[in-house]
Amino acid sequence: MFMMSWRPPGYRFRARDLVKALCSDETDQAMLLLAAAQGKVELFADATAWNGFLWLVMNTCKVEGQPLYSGQELGSLKASLPIVWL
């Protein structure tokens, strides 16, 4: 099989992978996220992965019943991740 040598290996993240990557720096997923930021691998995820993470954050990270993060902050987080959103 012909593989382009200039492309790094790719991995697909599901919602649980995204949660593990962003909520703990000691997981394989967190190491993949760091490797993606360094350009060593490519990460791919679809909207359902982000929606799963978003649901978890909005429903568990609250202060006095209000979400800890605004929609704008979470949008900035998503845009800053080294993930290709499908």
**Predicted local confidence at residue 7, as pLDDT:** 85
pLDDT number for residue 4: 62
Indicate if the pLDDT at residue 1 is higher than 60.
Answer: no
Supply 50's token pair. 């982000």
Are the C-beta atoms of 48 and 15 separated by less than 8 Å?
Answer: yes
Distance CA 14, CA 4 (A): 25
pLDDT in tens, 29-86: 999 999 999 999 999 999 999 999 999 999 999 999 999 999 999 999 999 999 999 9
- Residue 6: pLDDT band (50, 70, 90) is confident
pTM, entire model: 0.87
43, 32 contact by CB (below 8 A): yes
